[in-house]
Amino acid sequence: MRDRIEEAAKRAFSEFGYKGTTMDQIARLAGVSKGAIYLHFPSKEALFQHMLRGVIAQVRDAFESAQVEGDDYFRNLERGLRALMRFRADHAMLSKLVQEVRQFGTAEARAGLGELEAAILDYLARHLKRGVELGVVRPCRANLVAFVLLRAYTAVLRDFPSAEGPLSEEDLYQLFTGVFVDGLRLRPGEGEPRNTQSEQER
């Protein structure tokens, strides 16, 4: 029964958004009574939060699934970013929430999208920190770099006007390499401690 409720909630939030979804609709789509839903979820807000946590887990899976074992760290990072953008654009519930925020400014929908972005940024920051530990990324403020990467990729994929059509995967990687990688890549000797003048005189 719980699976049916979750599937019905996913459909309802995707079609009607947060504001337009009611527990009666979810019960009807699931083929259960409204009381049966309350046995599992005490409110629409609780059900929405549960669905949102599932989406966040799927976002992380999308990033990990885009990784190619043994490939260049930065190539994998760019693949992961592209996978995140594609998932976010193709997910019906997220698309509806974005539309709802633009049209109505629904606080719950805005907060849900904010939670999703915070989770994505945290995940990207962790990935960057792993790069520092591996010795391929120079020490940086990982949370700030993650924010810039996400916002830049979002802007390019959503807002960049191209008469030649969407940018290819290679176009995106070349842009990523030229703009970001040279600044992030750890240069030879950069990670080694530098001797001070007094140490050199000893």
Between CA 77 and CA 122 the distance in angstroms is 14
Q: Is residue 138 part of a domain?
A: yes
Domain that holds residue 163: 44-186
Task: Report the predicted TM-score, pTM, of the whole model to 2 decimal places.
Answer: 0.82
Q: Is residue 101 part of a domain?
A: yes
Q: Is residue 53 part of a domain?
A: yes
Cβ-Cβ contacts under 8 Å for 85 (sequence gap 6 or more): 153, 154, 157
Between CA 192 and CA 129 the distance in angstroms is 17
- φ and ψ at 137, to 5 degrees? -115, 135
Q: Is residue 61 part of a domain?
A: yes
What CATH number does residue 90 fall under? 1.10.357.10
Between CA 139 and CA 81 the distance in angstroms is 20
Q: Is residue 23 part of a domain?
A: no
Q: Is residue 117 part of a domain?
A: yes
Q: Is residue 10 part of a domain?
A: no
Q: Please check whether residue 51 is in contact with residue 161, taking contact to mean a CB–CB distance below 8 angstroms.
A: no
Q: Is residue 102 part of a domain?
A: yes
pLDDT by 10s per residue, the chain, length 202: 999 999 999 999 999 999 999 999 999 999 999 999 999 999 999 999 999 999 999 999 999 999 999 999 999 999 999 899 889 889 999 999 999 999 999 999 999 999 999 999 999 999 999 999 999 999 999 999 999 999 988 888 877 776 667 778 888 888 888 888 878 888 777 665 444 444 444 4
145: its two tokens: 């770099």
Please state the domain count of the chain. 1
Bridge partners for 185 per DSSP: 137
